[in-house]
Structure 1
Protein backbone atom coordinates (compact mmCIF):
# COMPACT_ATOMS: atom_id res chain seq x y z
CA UNK A 1 0.00 0.00 0.00
CA UNK A 2 1.40 3.37 -1.02
CA UNK A 3 1.38 6.52 1.12
CA UNK A 4 -1.32 7.89 -1.17
CA UNK A 5 -3.45 4.79 -0.55
CA UNK A 6 -3.07 5.24 3.21
CA UNK A 7 -4.13 8.88 3.01
CA UNK A 8 -7.13 8.02 0.85
CA UNK A 9 -8.09 5.31 3.30
CA UNK A 10 -7.88 7.64 6.30
CA UNK A 11 -9.84 10.43 4.63
CA UNK A 12 -12.62 8.01 3.74
CA UNK A 13 -12.96 6.91 7.38
CA UNK A 14 -12.14 9.92 9.54
CA UNK A 15 -14.74 12.70 9.08
CA UNK A 16 -13.87 16.30 8.39
CA UNK A 17 -15.26 19.10 10.52
CA UNK A 18 -14.13 21.77 8.10
CA UNK A 19 -16.94 23.96 6.77
CA UNK A 20 -15.11 25.72 3.95
CA UNK A 21 -17.50 27.40 1.54
CA UNK A 22 -20.56 26.69 3.67
CA UNK A 23 -22.95 29.57 4.38
CA UNK A 24 -24.18 29.45 7.96
CA UNK A 25 -27.19 31.37 9.24
CA UNK A 26 -26.80 31.82 12.99
CA UNK A 27 -29.90 33.25 14.68
CA UNK A 28 -29.76 34.82 18.11
CA UNK A 29 -26.43 35.93 16.70
CA UNK A 30 -25.60 38.40 19.47
CA UNK A 31 -26.36 35.98 22.31
CA UNK A 32 -23.81 34.38 24.62
CA UNK A 33 -23.97 30.91 23.06
CA UNK A 34 -23.98 32.26 19.50
CA UNK A 35 -20.90 34.42 20.10
CA UNK A 36 -18.87 31.29 20.88
CA UNK A 37 -20.43 29.19 18.13
CA UNK A 38 -19.79 31.90 15.54
CA UNK A 39 -16.07 31.81 16.32
CA UNK A 40 -16.03 28.05 15.81
CA UNK A 41 -17.85 28.36 12.47
CA UNK A 42 -15.44 31.02 11.21
CA UNK A 43 -12.43 29.02 12.44
CA UNK A 44 -13.70 26.09 10.38
CA UNK A 45 -14.05 28.20 7.25
CA UNK A 46 -17.78 28.92 7.11
CA UNK A 47 -19.25 32.22 5.98
CA UNK A 48 -21.51 33.44 8.79
CA UNK A 49 -24.70 35.48 8.59
CA UNK A 50 -25.49 36.64 12.12
CA UNK A 51 -29.21 37.24 12.66
CA UNK A 52 -30.77 38.97 15.65
CA UNK A 53 -33.68 41.25 16.47
CA UNK A 54 -31.62 44.40 17.05
CA UNK A 55 -29.61 45.54 14.02
CA UNK A 56 -27.09 47.67 15.91
CA UNK A 57 -26.40 44.92 18.45
CA UNK A 58 -25.90 42.24 15.81
CA UNK A 59 -23.67 44.56 13.75
CA UNK A 60 -21.51 45.01 16.83
CA UNK A 61 -21.35 41.23 17.24
CA UNK A 62 -20.29 40.87 13.60
CA UNK A 63 -17.57 43.52 13.97
CA UNK A 64 -16.25 41.84 17.11
CA UNK A 65 -16.22 38.49 15.30
CA UNK A 66 -14.18 39.99 12.45
CA UNK A 67 -11.74 41.49 14.96
CA UNK A 68 -11.42 38.12 16.68
CA UNK A 69 -10.71 36.38 13.35
CA UNK A 70 -8.02 38.95 12.60
CA UNK A 71 -6.45 38.43 16.03
CA UNK A 72 -6.29 34.70 15.33
CA UNK A 73 -4.60 35.28 11.95
CA UNK A 74 -7.38 33.47 10.11
CA UNK A 75 -6.64 33.97 6.43
CA UNK A 76 -8.73 34.42 4.45
CA UNK A 77 -11.45 35.56 6.86
CA UNK A 78 -14.83 34.17 5.76
CA UNK A 79 -17.58 36.62 4.83
CA UNK A 80 -19.29 37.75 8.05
CA UNK A 81 -22.54 39.72 7.83
CA UNK A 82 -25.24 41.04 10.18
CA UNK A 83 -29.01 40.96 9.72
CA UNK A 84 -32.04 42.09 11.71
CA UNK A 85 -35.00 39.72 11.85
CA UNK A 86 -37.95 38.87 14.07
CA UNK A 87 -38.07 35.08 13.80
CA UNK A 88 -41.64 35.11 15.09
CA UNK A 89 -42.75 36.96 11.92
CA UNK A 90 -42.87 34.58 8.95
CA UNK A 91 -42.79 37.35 6.34
CA UNK A 92 -39.80 38.97 8.02
CA UNK A 93 -38.04 35.59 8.10
CA UNK A 94 -38.62 34.91 4.39
CA UNK A 95 -37.41 38.39 3.48
CA UNK A 96 -34.29 38.06 5.62
CA UNK A 97 -33.34 34.66 4.21
CA UNK A 98 -33.85 35.92 0.65
CA UNK A 99 -31.59 38.91 1.35
CA UNK A 100 -28.91 36.68 2.86
CA UNK A 101 -28.94 34.38 -0.17
CA UNK A 102 -28.77 37.38 -2.51
CA UNK A 103 -25.89 38.90 -0.53
CA UNK A 104 -23.83 35.69 -0.73
CA UNK A 105 -24.99 34.96 -4.30
CA UNK A 106 -25.67 31.41 -3.12
CA UNK A 107 -28.01 29.47 -0.88
CA UNK A 108 -27.34 29.17 2.83
CA UNK A 109 -26.90 25.46 3.59
CA UNK A 110 -26.31 25.53 7.36
CA UNK A 111 -28.67 26.82 10.04
CA UNK A 112 -27.90 27.09 13.74
CA UNK A 113 -31.05 28.49 15.30
CA UNK A 114 -30.35 29.75 18.83
CA UNK A 115 -32.94 32.55 18.91
CA UNK A 116 -35.48 32.27 21.72
CA UNK A 117 -36.19 33.32 25.27
CA UNK A 118 -37.56 32.13 28.61
CA UNK A 119 -40.01 33.56 31.15
CA UNK A 120 -40.80 32.42 34.68
CA UNK A 121 -44.51 32.49 35.55
CA UNK A 122 -46.55 29.91 37.42
CA UNK A 123 -49.04 28.19 35.12
CA UNK A 124 -52.06 29.66 36.92
CA UNK A 125 -50.69 33.20 36.80
CA UNK A 126 -49.09 33.23 33.33
CA UNK A 127 -50.54 36.07 31.22
CA UNK A 128 -52.00 34.39 28.15
CA UNK A 129 -50.64 36.95 25.72
CA UNK A 130 -47.11 36.51 27.07
CA UNK A 131 -47.33 32.72 26.83
CA UNK A 132 -48.60 32.97 23.25
CA UNK A 133 -45.82 35.38 22.28
CA UNK A 134 -43.13 33.10 23.71
CA UNK A 135 -44.46 30.00 21.95
CA UNK A 136 -44.72 31.99 18.73
CA UNK A 137 -41.04 32.95 18.83
CA UNK A 138 -39.56 29.75 20.27
CA UNK A 139 -41.64 27.17 18.42
CA UNK A 140 -43.24 28.76 15.36
CA UNK A 141 -40.12 30.85 14.83
CA UNK A 142 -38.12 27.62 14.65
CA UNK A 143 -40.53 26.35 12.00
CA UNK A 144 -40.48 29.61 10.00
CA UNK A 145 -36.69 29.84 9.75
CA UNK A 146 -36.29 26.12 9.02
CA UNK A 147 -38.95 26.24 6.31
CA UNK A 148 -37.46 29.32 4.65
CA UNK A 149 -33.94 27.88 4.58
CA UNK A 150 -35.20 24.50 3.36
CA UNK A 151 -37.28 26.01 0.55
CA UNK A 152 -34.21 27.71 -0.85
CA UNK A 153 -32.21 24.49 -0.60
CA UNK A 154 -34.90 22.45 -2.34
CA UNK A 155 -35.21 25.00 -5.15
CA UNK A 156 -31.42 24.94 -5.61
CA UNK A 157 -31.18 21.16 -5.35
CA UNK A 158 -28.61 21.61 -2.61
CA UNK A 159 -28.10 19.51 0.57
CA UNK A 160 -28.07 21.15 3.96
CA UNK A 161 -27.94 20.75 7.71
CA UNK A 162 -30.41 22.51 10.00
CA UNK A 163 -29.65 22.57 13.72
CA UNK A 164 -32.30 23.87 16.09
CA UNK A 165 -31.50 24.64 19.71
CA UNK A 166 -33.96 22.89 21.98
CA UNK A 167 -33.44 22.43 25.70
CA UNK A 168 -33.40 19.74 28.33
CA UNK A 169 -36.57 21.61 29.38
CA UNK A 170 -38.26 19.91 26.45
CA UNK A 171 -37.90 16.50 28.09
CA UNK A 172 -37.88 17.32 31.83
CA UNK A 173 -39.45 19.96 34.08
CA UNK A 174 -36.99 22.41 35.57
CA UNK A 175 -36.97 23.11 39.29
CA UNK A 176 -37.49 25.42 41.11
CA UNK A 177 -38.40 28.01 38.44
CA UNK A 178 -41.86 27.73 36.83
CA UNK A 179 -41.61 28.06 33.04
CA UNK A 180 -44.47 26.15 31.49
CA UNK A 181 -44.56 28.08 28.18
CA UNK A 182 -40.83 27.66 27.67
CA UNK A 183 -41.04 23.94 28.45
CA UNK A 184 -43.84 23.27 25.99
CA UNK A 185 -42.17 25.39 23.31
CA UNK A 186 -38.94 23.38 23.56
CA UNK A 187 -40.81 20.08 23.63
CA UNK A 188 -42.45 21.27 20.43
CA UNK A 189 -39.07 22.12 18.87
CA UNK A 190 -37.84 18.59 19.54
CA UNK A 191 -40.82 17.03 17.77
CA UNK A 192 -40.68 19.65 15.02
CA UNK A 193 -37.14 18.44 14.29
CA UNK A 194 -38.33 14.84 13.99
CA UNK A 195 -41.19 15.83 11.69
CA UNK A 196 -39.06 17.98 9.39
CA UNK A 197 -36.28 15.38 9.29
CA UNK A 198 -38.71 12.78 8.02
CA UNK A 199 -40.25 15.08 5.39
CA UNK A 200 -37.00 16.55 4.11
CA UNK A 201 -34.71 13.53 4.07
CA UNK A 202 -35.65 12.98 0.40
CA UNK A 203 -34.07 16.36 -0.34
CA UNK A 204 -30.85 15.44 1.49
CA UNK A 205 -31.62 18.02 4.15
CA UNK A 206 -30.79 16.84 7.67
CA UNK A 207 -32.58 18.36 10.65
CA UNK A 208 -31.34 17.86 14.19
CA UNK A 209 -31.73 19.36 17.63
CA UNK A 210 -29.17 20.24 20.28
CA UNK A 211 -30.73 20.44 23.76
CA UNK A 212 -28.45 22.13 26.28
CA UNK A 213 -28.71 22.11 30.04
CA UNK A 214 -27.85 25.15 32.13
CA UNK A 215 -25.27 27.38 30.42
CA UNK A 216 -23.08 29.94 32.16
CA UNK A 217 -23.51 32.62 29.51
CA UNK A 218 -22.53 36.21 30.35
CA UNK A 219 -26.24 37.04 30.80
CA UNK A 220 -26.80 34.11 33.17
CA UNK A 221 -23.72 35.03 35.17
CA UNK A 222 -24.96 38.62 35.42
CA UNK A 223 -28.38 37.52 36.68
CA UNK A 224 -26.83 35.21 39.27
CA UNK A 225 -24.46 37.91 40.47
CA UNK A 226 -27.08 40.66 40.74
CA UNK A 227 -30.25 38.83 41.78
CA UNK A 228 -30.60 38.45 45.58
CA UNK A 229 -31.56 34.81 45.13
CA UNK A 230 -29.14 34.21 42.24
CA UNK A 231 -26.51 32.28 44.16
CA UNK A 232 -29.13 30.13 45.82
CA UNK A 233 -30.66 29.38 42.43
CA UNK A 234 -27.27 28.42 40.99
CA UNK A 235 -26.60 26.13 43.96
CA UNK A 236 -29.97 24.46 43.46
CA UNK A 237 -29.34 23.89 39.77
CA UNK A 238 -25.82 22.56 40.24
CA UNK A 239 -26.86 20.23 43.05
CA UNK A 240 -29.04 18.40 40.50
CA UNK A 241 -26.32 18.09 37.85
CA UNK A 242 -24.11 14.99 38.20
CA UNK A 243 -21.13 17.03 36.97
CA UNK A 244 -22.05 19.65 39.63
CA UNK A 245 -21.53 22.73 37.48
CA UNK A 246 -23.10 24.69 34.67
CA UNK A 247 -21.75 24.39 31.14
CA UNK A 248 -19.50 26.89 29.42
CA UNK A 249 -20.67 27.90 25.91
CA UNK A 250 -17.54 26.36 24.33
CA UNK A 251 -18.65 22.92 25.55
CA UNK A 252 -21.34 22.86 22.85
CA UNK A 253 -18.99 23.57 19.95
CA UNK A 254 -18.13 19.90 19.37
CA UNK A 255 -21.79 18.93 19.18
CA UNK A 256 -22.58 21.71 16.72
CA UNK A 257 -19.63 20.89 14.47
CA UNK A 258 -20.62 17.22 14.50
CA UNK A 259 -24.19 17.98 13.45
CA UNK A 260 -23.03 20.56 10.88
CA UNK A 261 -20.46 18.29 9.21
CA UNK A 262 -21.63 16.58 6.03
CA UNK A 263 -19.34 13.64 6.73
CA UNK A 264 -19.36 13.24 10.52
CA UNK A 265 -23.16 13.18 10.85
CA UNK A 266 -24.23 12.13 7.36
CA UNK A 267 -26.49 9.42 8.84
CA UNK A 268 -27.81 11.54 11.70
CA UNK A 269 -31.17 13.26 11.27
CA UNK A 270 -34.21 13.76 13.48
CA UNK A 271 -31.97 13.43 16.54
CA UNK A 272 -32.25 15.34 19.82
CA UNK A 273 -28.74 15.52 21.26
CA UNK A 274 -29.03 16.36 24.96
CA UNK A 275 -25.89 17.94 26.46
CA UNK A 276 -26.81 18.71 30.06
CA UNK A 277 -24.03 17.38 32.29
CA UNK A 278 -26.26 14.43 33.14
CA UNK A 279 -29.09 16.53 34.61
CA UNK A 280 -31.88 14.39 33.19
CA UNK A 281 -30.30 11.21 34.59
CA UNK A 282 -31.29 12.20 38.12
Structure 2
Protein backbone atom coordinates (compact mmCIF):
# COMPACT_ATOMS: atom_id res chain seq x y z
CA UNK A 1 0.00 0.00 0.00
CA UNK A 2 1.32 3.44 -0.90
CA UNK A 3 1.99 5.70 2.05
CA UNK A 4 0.47 9.21 1.96
CA UNK A 5 2.89 12.08 1.39
CA UNK A 6 1.68 13.77 4.59
CA UNK A 7 0.65 11.60 7.52
CA UNK A 8 -2.74 11.82 9.21
CA UNK A 9 -1.12 13.33 12.29
CA UNK A 10 0.50 16.03 10.14
CA UNK A 11 -2.81 16.78 8.45
CA UNK A 12 -4.39 17.10 11.89
CA UNK A 13 -1.79 19.70 12.84
CA UNK A 14 -2.51 21.65 9.67
CA UNK A 15 -6.26 21.55 10.33
CA UNK A 16 -5.90 22.71 13.95
CA UNK A 17 -3.50 25.56 13.14
CA UNK A 18 -4.17 26.54 9.53
CA UNK A 19 -1.90 28.88 7.61
CA UNK A 20 -4.95 30.88 6.61
CA UNK A 21 -5.05 34.17 4.77
CA UNK A 22 -6.51 37.64 4.98
CA UNK A 23 -6.68 40.41 2.42
CA UNK A 24 -5.08 43.83 2.72
CA UNK A 25 -4.32 46.28 -0.05
CA UNK A 26 -5.12 43.63 -2.64
CA UNK A 27 -2.62 41.12 -1.23
CA UNK A 28 -3.67 37.86 0.32
CA UNK A 29 -1.54 37.72 3.46
CA UNK A 30 -0.46 34.81 5.58
CA UNK A 31 -2.11 34.57 8.98
CA UNK A 32 -0.03 35.24 12.08
CA UNK A 33 -1.23 31.94 13.56
CA UNK A 34 1.54 29.91 11.91
CA UNK A 35 3.54 27.90 14.45
CA UNK A 36 6.70 25.73 14.52
CA UNK A 37 4.36 22.74 14.75
CA UNK A 38 3.04 23.57 11.29
CA UNK A 39 6.58 23.73 9.96
CA UNK A 40 7.26 20.29 11.36
CA UNK A 41 3.96 18.99 9.99
CA UNK A 42 4.87 20.14 6.49
CA UNK A 43 7.57 17.48 6.31
CA UNK A 44 9.40 17.61 2.97
CA UNK A 45 7.40 20.71 2.05
CA UNK A 46 9.08 22.74 4.82
CA UNK A 47 11.72 25.30 3.80
CA UNK A 48 13.17 25.85 7.25
CA UNK A 49 16.30 28.07 7.32
CA UNK A 50 16.50 28.39 3.54
CA UNK A 51 17.41 31.57 1.69
CA UNK A 52 15.71 32.65 -1.51
CA UNK A 53 15.72 35.38 -4.09
CA UNK A 54 12.56 36.32 -5.98
CA UNK A 55 12.81 38.67 -8.93
CA UNK A 56 9.77 40.79 -9.67
CA UNK A 57 9.05 40.40 -5.97
CA UNK A 58 7.49 43.81 -5.38
CA UNK A 59 4.04 42.69 -6.51
CA UNK A 60 2.05 40.11 -8.48
CA UNK A 61 3.22 36.52 -8.73
CA UNK A 62 6.67 37.42 -7.46
CA UNK A 63 5.23 38.69 -4.19
CA UNK A 64 2.98 35.62 -3.95
CA UNK A 65 6.05 33.43 -4.34
CA UNK A 66 7.83 35.34 -1.57
CA UNK A 67 4.86 34.87 0.76
CA UNK A 68 4.65 31.17 -0.05
CA UNK A 69 8.35 30.59 0.67
CA UNK A 70 8.11 32.56 3.89
CA UNK A 71 5.04 30.69 5.09
CA UNK A 72 6.87 27.40 4.52
CA UNK A 73 9.69 28.52 6.82
CA UNK A 74 12.35 30.24 4.72
CA UNK A 75 14.72 32.23 6.91
CA UNK A 76 15.11 35.08 4.41
CA UNK A 77 13.40 35.85 1.12
CA UNK A 78 14.93 38.70 -0.89
CA UNK A 79 12.54 40.41 -3.30
CA UNK A 80 14.41 42.01 -6.20
CA UNK A 81 12.60 44.58 -8.34
CA UNK A 82 13.07 47.84 -10.25
CA UNK A 83 11.39 50.46 -7.99
CA UNK A 84 13.71 52.27 -5.61
CA UNK A 85 11.27 51.57 -2.80
CA UNK A 86 8.72 48.74 -2.47
CA UNK A 87 5.00 49.39 -2.80
CA UNK A 88 2.17 49.26 -0.29
CA UNK A 89 1.39 45.60 -1.01
CA UNK A 90 4.99 44.57 -0.34
CA UNK A 91 5.08 46.48 2.93
CA UNK A 92 1.86 44.80 4.03
CA UNK A 93 3.34 41.43 3.09
CA UNK A 94 6.49 42.13 5.11
CA UNK A 95 4.41 42.89 8.20
CA UNK A 96 2.50 39.67 7.67
CA UNK A 97 5.71 37.64 7.47
CA UNK A 98 7.07 39.31 10.62
CA UNK A 99 3.96 38.17 12.52
CA UNK A 100 4.74 34.55 11.64
CA UNK A 101 7.49 34.64 14.24
CA UNK A 102 10.89 33.00 14.28
CA UNK A 103 13.79 34.33 12.25
CA UNK A 104 11.84 34.78 9.02
CA UNK A 105 12.50 37.96 7.05
CA UNK A 106 11.19 39.52 3.87
CA UNK A 107 13.82 41.83 2.40
CA UNK A 108 13.65 44.25 -0.54
CA UNK A 109 16.51 45.04 -2.93
CA UNK A 110 16.37 47.39 -5.91
CA UNK A 111 17.73 45.53 -8.93
CA UNK A 112 17.49 45.45 -12.71
CA UNK A 113 17.45 41.87 -13.99
CA UNK A 114 18.69 43.09 -17.38
CA UNK A 115 22.04 44.13 -15.88
CA UNK A 116 23.96 40.86 -15.63
CA UNK A 117 27.12 42.09 -13.90
CA UNK A 118 25.30 44.11 -11.25
CA UNK A 119 22.80 41.31 -10.66
CA UNK A 120 25.63 38.82 -10.14
CA UNK A 121 27.21 41.15 -7.58
CA UNK A 122 23.89 41.76 -5.77
CA UNK A 123 23.06 38.06 -5.45
CA UNK A 124 26.62 37.24 -4.38
CA UNK A 125 26.37 39.84 -1.62
CA UNK A 126 23.08 38.34 -0.44
CA UNK A 127 24.52 34.84 -0.39
CA UNK A 128 27.64 36.00 1.46
CA UNK A 129 25.56 37.78 4.08
CA UNK A 130 23.26 34.79 4.63
CA UNK A 131 25.91 32.10 4.19
CA UNK A 132 23.88 30.19 1.61
CA UNK A 133 21.57 30.33 -1.41
CA UNK A 134 18.85 27.72 -1.81
CA UNK A 135 16.00 28.97 -3.97
CA UNK A 136 15.49 31.27 -6.93
CA UNK A 137 12.13 32.30 -8.34
CA UNK A 138 12.65 34.28 -11.55
CA UNK A 139 9.31 36.05 -11.85
CA UNK A 140 10.19 39.46 -13.30
CA UNK A 141 8.44 39.97 -16.61
CA UNK A 142 6.51 42.36 -18.84
CA UNK A 143 3.78 41.78 -21.41
CA UNK A 144 4.64 44.50 -23.90
CA UNK A 145 2.16 46.13 -26.23
CA UNK A 146 -0.67 44.13 -27.80
CA UNK A 147 -0.62 44.58 -31.56
CA UNK A 148 -0.52 42.69 -34.84
CA UNK A 149 2.61 40.64 -35.43
CA UNK A 150 3.09 42.65 -38.64
CA UNK A 151 3.48 45.89 -36.69
CA UNK A 152 6.01 45.12 -33.95
CA UNK A 153 9.19 47.16 -34.08
CA UNK A 154 12.69 45.93 -33.29
CA UNK A 155 12.72 48.09 -30.16
CA UNK A 156 9.44 46.62 -28.87
CA UNK A 157 10.68 43.08 -29.44
CA UNK A 158 13.97 43.76 -27.66
CA UNK A 159 12.24 45.43 -24.71
CA UNK A 160 10.17 42.31 -23.93
CA UNK A 161 12.95 39.82 -24.59
CA UNK A 162 15.47 41.78 -22.51
CA UNK A 163 13.31 41.34 -19.41
CA UNK A 164 11.52 38.05 -20.07
CA UNK A 165 14.41 36.11 -21.59
CA UNK A 166 17.71 37.74 -20.65
CA UNK A 167 16.46 38.84 -17.23
CA UNK A 168 15.18 35.37 -16.34
CA UNK A 169 18.41 33.77 -17.51
CA UNK A 170 20.64 36.23 -15.65
CA UNK A 171 18.60 35.69 -12.46
CA UNK A 172 18.89 31.90 -12.70
CA UNK A 173 22.60 32.23 -13.50
CA UNK A 174 23.23 34.49 -10.53
CA UNK A 175 21.49 32.16 -8.07
CA UNK A 176 23.01 28.97 -9.49
CA UNK A 177 26.52 30.39 -9.20
CA UNK A 178 25.98 30.90 -5.47
CA UNK A 179 24.43 27.47 -5.00
CA UNK A 180 27.55 25.98 -6.58
CA UNK A 181 29.78 28.24 -4.49
CA UNK A 182 28.26 27.00 -1.23
CA UNK A 183 27.88 23.44 -2.57
CA UNK A 184 24.23 23.28 -1.54
CA UNK A 185 21.34 21.66 -3.40
CA UNK A 186 19.11 24.27 -4.97
CA UNK A 187 15.81 24.79 -6.72
CA UNK A 188 15.32 27.33 -9.50
CA UNK A 189 11.80 28.16 -10.67
CA UNK A 190 11.42 30.10 -13.91
CA UNK A 191 8.08 31.85 -14.40
CA UNK A 192 6.93 31.04 -17.90
CA UNK A 193 3.32 31.07 -19.12
CA UNK A 194 0.85 29.01 -21.10
CA UNK A 195 1.63 31.62 -23.77
CA UNK A 196 4.91 29.76 -24.22
CA UNK A 197 3.10 26.55 -25.19
CA UNK A 198 -0.01 27.72 -27.07
CA UNK A 199 -1.14 30.79 -28.98
CA UNK A 200 -3.54 32.92 -26.95
CA UNK A 201 -6.88 33.45 -28.65
CA UNK A 202 -7.62 37.11 -29.47
CA UNK A 203 -4.45 38.18 -27.62
CA UNK A 204 -1.82 39.40 -30.13
CA UNK A 205 1.38 39.60 -28.05
CA UNK A 206 3.95 37.70 -30.12
CA UNK A 207 7.09 38.97 -28.30
CA UNK A 208 5.62 37.82 -24.97
CA UNK A 209 4.68 34.40 -26.36
CA UNK A 210 8.10 33.80 -27.87
CA UNK A 211 9.91 34.96 -24.74
CA UNK A 212 7.93 32.54 -22.57
CA UNK A 213 8.56 29.67 -24.99
CA UNK A 214 12.26 30.45 -24.61
CA UNK A 215 11.94 30.31 -20.80
CA UNK A 216 10.41 26.82 -20.97
CA UNK A 217 13.29 25.58 -23.11
CA UNK A 218 15.77 27.44 -20.90
CA UNK A 219 14.58 25.47 -17.88
CA UNK A 220 15.07 22.16 -19.71
CA UNK A 221 18.59 23.01 -20.84
CA UNK A 222 19.70 24.41 -17.48
CA UNK A 223 18.22 21.38 -15.72
CA UNK A 224 20.34 19.08 -17.89
CA UNK A 225 23.51 21.03 -17.19
CA UNK A 226 23.02 21.57 -13.47
CA UNK A 227 21.62 18.21 -12.37
CA UNK A 228 25.08 16.90 -11.52
CA UNK A 229 25.54 19.89 -9.22
CA UNK A 230 22.34 18.94 -7.38
CA UNK A 231 20.48 21.99 -8.69
CA UNK A 232 16.96 21.49 -10.04
CA UNK A 233 15.46 23.82 -12.63
CA UNK A 234 11.79 23.86 -13.60
CA UNK A 235 9.45 26.27 -15.34
CA UNK A 236 5.99 27.18 -14.11
CA UNK A 237 3.36 28.14 -16.70
CA UNK A 238 0.33 29.89 -15.21
CA UNK A 239 -2.79 30.59 -17.19
CA UNK A 240 -4.59 33.93 -16.93
CA UNK A 241 -4.15 35.14 -13.35
CA UNK A 242 -5.53 38.34 -11.79
CA UNK A 243 -2.19 40.10 -11.46
CA UNK A 244 -1.54 43.84 -11.82
CA UNK A 245 -0.39 43.09 -15.38
CA UNK A 246 -3.65 41.45 -16.48
CA UNK A 247 -5.76 43.95 -14.55
CA UNK A 248 -4.06 46.79 -16.44
CA UNK A 249 -5.03 45.20 -19.75
CA UNK A 250 -8.63 44.60 -18.62
CA UNK A 251 -8.96 48.20 -17.43
CA UNK A 252 -8.25 49.37 -20.99
CA UNK A 253 -10.05 46.53 -22.79
CA UNK A 254 -12.77 45.10 -20.47
CA UNK A 255 -13.77 42.48 -23.03
CA UNK A 256 -10.64 40.49 -22.19
CA UNK A 257 -12.16 39.55 -18.81
CA UNK A 258 -14.75 37.36 -20.54
CA UNK A 259 -12.47 36.28 -23.41
CA UNK A 260 -9.86 34.89 -21.04
CA UNK A 261 -12.38 33.47 -18.55
CA UNK A 262 -14.37 31.57 -21.14
CA UNK A 263 -11.31 29.63 -22.29
CA UNK A 264 -10.96 28.02 -18.85
CA UNK A 265 -12.97 25.02 -17.67
CA UNK A 266 -13.66 27.01 -14.51
CA UNK A 267 -14.91 30.04 -16.45
CA UNK A 268 -12.79 32.46 -14.43
CA UNK A 269 -9.31 33.88 -14.06
CA UNK A 270 -7.01 32.41 -11.45
CA UNK A 271 -6.15 34.12 -8.18
CA UNK A 272 -2.44 34.77 -7.46
CA UNK A 273 -2.55 32.84 -4.17
CA UNK A 274 -3.68 29.72 -6.07
CA UNK A 275 -0.08 29.31 -7.26
CA UNK A 276 1.44 29.27 -3.76
CA UNK A 277 1.09 25.51 -3.37
CA UNK A 278 2.91 24.62 -6.58
CA UNK A 279 5.64 27.16 -5.87
CA UNK A 280 6.22 25.72 -2.42
CA UNK A 281 6.31 22.18 -3.83
CA UNK A 282 8.83 23.10 -6.54
CA UNK A 283 11.05 24.92 -4.04
CA UNK A 284 11.00 22.14 -1.45
CA UNK A 285 12.41 18.64 -1.07
CA UNK A 286 8.92 17.31 -1.80
CA UNK A 287 9.74 17.76 -5.50
CA UNK A 288 13.28 16.36 -5.28
CA UNK A 289 12.84 14.15 -8.38
CA UNK A 290 11.32 16.94 -10.49
CA UNK A 291 13.64 18.83 -12.81
CA UNK A 292 13.46 19.95 -16.41
CA UNK A 293 9.66 20.00 -16.20
CA UNK A 294 7.14 22.63 -17.24
CA UNK A 295 4.25 22.71 -14.78
CA UNK A 296 1.00 24.12 -16.17
CA UNK A 297 -1.56 25.68 -13.81
CA UNK A 298 -4.24 27.21 -16.00
CA UNK A 299 -7.74 26.14 -14.92
CA UNK A 300 -7.87 23.84 -17.94
CA UNK A 301 -7.16 26.50 -20.59
CA UNK A 302 -4.70 24.33 -22.56
CA UNK A 303 -6.68 21.08 -22.14
CA UNK A 304 -9.35 21.89 -24.73
2:131 aligned with 1:95, yes or no?
no
Contact 2:97 2:106 in 1 (8 A): no
Contact 2:241 2:271 in 1 (8 A): yes
CA distance in 2, matches of 1:246, 1:63: 26
Partner residue in 1 for 2:292: 270
CA distance in 2, matches of 1:254, 1:185: 25
Contact 1:55 1:82 in 2 (8 A): no
CA distance in 1, matches of 2:129, 2:86: 20
2:137 aligned with 1:115, yes or no?
no
Partner residue in 2 for 1:3: none
Select 1:204's aligned residue among 223, 227, 230.
Answer: 230
Q: Secondary structure at the match of 1:117?
A: coil
Q: Residues 148 and 219 (structure 1 numbering): CA distance in 2 closer, same or farther, change over 3 Å?
A: closer
Partner residue in 1 for 2:182: 156
Q: Secondary structure at the match of 2:86?
A: helix
Greater RCO, CA 8 A, separation 6+: 1
2:281 aligned with 1:258, yes or no?
yes
Cα offset, 1:147, TM superposition: 1.1
| Aligned residues between the structures | 263
Q: Secondary structure at the match of 1:57?
A: coil
CA distance in 2, matches of 1:140, 1:270: 19
Alignment of 1:133-148 (within 5 A): 133-148=159-174
CA distance in 2, matches of 1:23, 1:77: 12
Contact 2:59 2:90 in 1 (8 A): no
Q: Give TM-score scaled by structure 2 length.
A: 0.82
1:89-136 per-residue CA deviation (whole Å, 9 max, x = no partner) reads 2112112212212332x1221011110111212211111112012112
Q: Secondary structure at the match of 2:270?
A: coil
1:211-249 per-residue CA deviation (whole Å, 9 max, x = no partner) reads 00000124533542x32x31x111111111111111001
Contact 1:42 1:77 in 2 (8 A): no
Select 1:240's aligned residue among 238, 258, 263.
Answer: 263
Partner residue in 2 for 1:33: 61
Partner residue in 1 for 2:247: 221
2:83 aligned with 1:54, yes or no?
yes
CA distance in 1, matches of 2:180, 2:245: 37
Partner residue in 2 for 1:65: 93
Cα offset, 1:28, TM superposition: 0.4
Any stretches of 5+ residues in structure 1 without a counterpart? 1-6
1:174-205 per-residue CA deviation (whole Å, 9 max, x = no partner) reads 12121111111000000000000000000000
Two-structure CA RMSD over aligned residues (Å):
1.8
CA distance in 2, matches of 1:42, 1:222: 28
Contact 1:110 1:161 in 2 (8 A): yes
Contact 1:62 1:80 in 2 (8 A): no
CA distance in 2, matches of 1:236, 1:221: 14
